[in-house]
Amino acid sequence: MTQLHGKNFIAGTLQNSGDTLTAVSPLDGSSLEGRFCLASEADVEAAMEAAAEASGPLAARSGSQRAELLERIATEIEALGDGLLERAHQETALPLARLTGERGRTVGQLRLFAAAAREGSWQDPRIDRAMPDRQPLPRPDLRRAKRPIGPVVVFGSSNFPLAFSVAGGDTASALCTGNPVVVKAHRAHPGTSELVASAIAKAVAACGMPAGTFSMLHGQGSLIGIALVRHPATKAVGFTGSRAAGRALCDAAAGRPDPIPVFAEMSSINPVFLLPGALAERGASIAQGFVASMTLGVGQFCTKPGLVFAVTGPELDAFREAVREAVIAAPSASMLTADILDAYTAGREKLVSLGNATTLSEASAEADAAKTQASAVVAETDLASFLADEGYAAEVFGPASLIVTAASADQLRDAAASLEGQLTATLHGTQSDLAAAADLLEVLATKAGRLIVNGFPTGVEVCPAMQHGGPWPATSDSRFTSVGTAALERFVRPVCYQDVPDALLPDALKDANPLCLERLVNGVRGTH
């Protein structure tokens, strides 16, 4: 494995600062190799100034050139070999098999965005040609296309050290559209972050991109993170994390003299609605799938099903029994950090201690606190209690969930209407169940960014049709996604060119259409 140096990456150079941090293994609490320099205010200034200087030259690079950069980053990450996975395992306790899959997802989405950079349709070119003879007033020549927004600050996430961190989807989509990126590495996996940053830095240099195209800093989110958001060169922010941290970044961005967008994924409990026919037909298999989804990754997925609604009756009783047995058998496992375990423990205790909540089942396997282990729990309550106390709807990040019982299927719509915004909402039903639940589905469509029928929400496919975002507090802006090619829309802005000579127009808007893009010209879509 590449030797760790613990320095910050600033525009192609390595910078030392005074204070340092050490990574801690959640598996045994031991300190891991390497001391990592915490960025100073001067480091923030240097990184952002370099990003600002690179912004114009990077935006001027062709889509093919940016595609080559993204592909080279993917290749350099693969070249790190198993050493990257081993370090990520040490820092996060995530299994090597899971990390292998996550690395594949990371390089896969880099190559997906490379294809998008070459193809260029993200520019969405629109042309309305001049009509000088139009009465009573002539129309000027109007041409609209999207362009890079400028330097983007990206915050690495705790639970996806590869796919949502230094070279994750936020970084890939920003680079794809020609924006420099400054990453604030997550404190929980600094060694993993450094290794990936070294791969990006190599790719930037090999492709001859401006030095300020990429920087990465270590530091406290409450200090360095806020400073990055407030810096005048920053034009947008990508974040995945807690509601409290996301809200702090949104407030900092809104409080600037020039407010900027923050695209934050923050909080979701991902409700599951069980309709009577489905419970009668396959309640046991639904129970197995639910518990498997709830405990996947020790419940540390933003799409973990943390809430289940169902109608009382013998079918639900059978489902509850199957859930009880599956939870008892669920193994304990290490969480990402001791702080996350502490938060899970507090949230779990609060959940089961709410007024009318009872514990349906707990895992029998003992959780070893020295190994940062958590065990699964499922609580239950009735709908009236749930609606009367918002504490029941609080996210518990970890392997915990709540079953809420309703007196009738009609009450499920009331339950759905009471929810905050979510990343996902799931329905399990037979054909007749679903036909009768059209109103419920419509309510859920106002609450969630992705609707799932007869499946489970964990697992987010990286593809153009994916929507990974939802109404507040799931994300800060429900119009956008952080997964899939539509994620590019976050880091661009439209510009209209009026009566601009052809030679001065972006290639996407020139009469000859040198990029062969599909364009909307005088209301007609085609490659003309």
Specify the pLDDT at position 201.
98
Distance between CA 43 and CA 291 in Å, rounded? 45
Quote the radius of gyration of the chain (alpha carbons, Å). 25
pTM, full prediction: 0.96
Contact 156, 245 (CB under 8 A): no
From the number of C-beta atoms within 10 Å of its C-beta (0-12, 13-18, 19+), residue 477 rates as middle
In whole angstroms, give the CA distance from residue 464 to residue 220.
34
Interior CA angle at 211 toward 208 and 214, to 5°? 105
pLDDT for position 220: 84
Model pLDDT, residue 16: 85
> Which class does domain 271-453 fall in?
alpha beta
> Cβ–Cβ contacts within 10 Å for residue 115, how many?
14
What's the pLDDT score for residue 1?
53
Q: Are the C-beta atoms of residues 14 and 8 closer than 8 Å to each other?
A: yes
- CB of 132 within 8 A of CB of 215? no
Please enumerate in sequence order all residues whose Cβ is within 8 A of that of 448, keeping only pairs 6 or more positions apart, or say none.
421, 422, 423, 424, 425, 470, 471, 474
At the top level of CATH, the class of 8-25+38-131+139-266+479-490 is alpha beta
Which residues of the chain does CATH 3.40.309.10 include? 271-453
What amino acid positions are annotated as catalytic residues? 265, 302
Local confidence pLDDT in tens for the 528 residues of the chain? 568 999 999 999 999 877 899 999 999 999 999 999 999 999 999 999 999 999 999 999 999 999 999 999 999 999 999 999 999 999 999 999 999 999 999 999 999 999 999 999 999 999 999 999 999 999 999 999 999 999 999 999 999 999 999 999 999 999 999 999 999 999 999 999 999 999 999 999 999 999 999 999 999 878 899 999 999 999 999 999 999 999 999 999 999 999 999 999 999 999 999 999 999 999 999 999 999 999 999 999 999 999 999 999 999 999 999 999 999 999 999 999 999 999 999 999 999 999 899 999 999 999 999 999 999 999 999 999 999 999 999 999 999 999 999 999 889 999 999 999 999 999 999 999 999 999 999 999 999 999 999 999 999 999 999 999 999 999 999 999 999 999 999 999 999 999 999 999 999 999 999 999 999 999 999 999
Task: Enumerate the CATH 3.40.605.10 domain ranges in the chain, comma separated.
Answer: 8-25+38-131+139-266+479-490
